[in-house]
Amino acid sequence: MIEPKNLTTHYAAKSSYGGLLLDGVTGTGKSTILAILSEILGASPGWRRTGIFPEEQTYGDFWDELQANPESPDEYKTRLLAKVVTEVEQARAVDSDYHFILERAQYSLYAALPDWRLYASFDERLSRFNPIAILLDISDEALKERSVNRNDRPWARDQLIQLHGNESSAIKSLRGTQDRRKEALEFSKIPYRIIDTTSGKWDVHAAEIKAILMGT
């Protein structure tokens, strides 16, 4: 079994990056921040040619498929991430200035199916392009409000309660998946930062991530 490194030893320290892996439990603001980043990075030198891969392309229905068919081949489980990584490699092969953003990546896959063996090769391949992973995090109270009781997904609460039995157990389970993402960061060869988005100040968080990417 691969043992994770200490969480304090793998903190991002490079001055600029060639890609971004944006991850976090549902409700942390990934899609909102991604939308803002796609606009503000478009005017930035070096990021004008950027491939943006939303979670539909990187993660899809991974969790649902895992519950429905847990014995499916590993290649099938990771097929979406494999396709995206190959696209990134092909784009970089013809354009050294190409940058990329993945919404959800190997960290979310690991959170659902914690077997790093399945994701190590993708992590290695992505690491060659000097990306950074940004894990968005929130408080337990915000987890309750924005992950369990989501206004934009009223059906999500019923699903979570049905799956976990009660609200407290649902929050505990979601926190567990976030902890597994942090564990995956330690397996990864890619440097990372953890940003608390409890405040919901999306423009501020996006600007912080842009500054990290640009090395400013």
Domains in the chain with CATH codes: 19-214 (3.40.50.300)
> Is the pLDDT reported for residue 41 higher than 90?
no
Q: What is the pLDDT of residues 163-173, one digit of tens each?
A: 655 767 778 88
CA angle 134, 144, 193 (to 5 degrees): 10
pLDDT of residue 142: 86
Contact (CB, 8 A) for 169 and 57: no
Spatial strand order in the sheet of 131-137: 50-53, 99-103, 19-24, 131-137, 192-196
Residue 154 φ then ψ, to 5°: -60, -25
Q: What is the pLDDT of residues 44-64, one digit of tens each?
A: 667 778 899 999 999 999 988
Q: What is the pLDDT of residues 92-143, one digit of tens each?
A: 999 988 999 999 999 999 999 999 999 999 999 999 999 999 999 999 888 8
Model confidence, pTM: 0.87
Average pLDDT score over residue span 145-172: 64
> Is the pLDDT reported for residue 189 higher than 70?
yes
Contacting residues for 66 by C-beta, under 8 A, at least 6 apart = 77, 112, 113
Contacting residues for 85 by C-beta, under 8 A, at least 6 apart = 122, 125, 126
Contact (CB, 8 A) for 88 and 51: yes
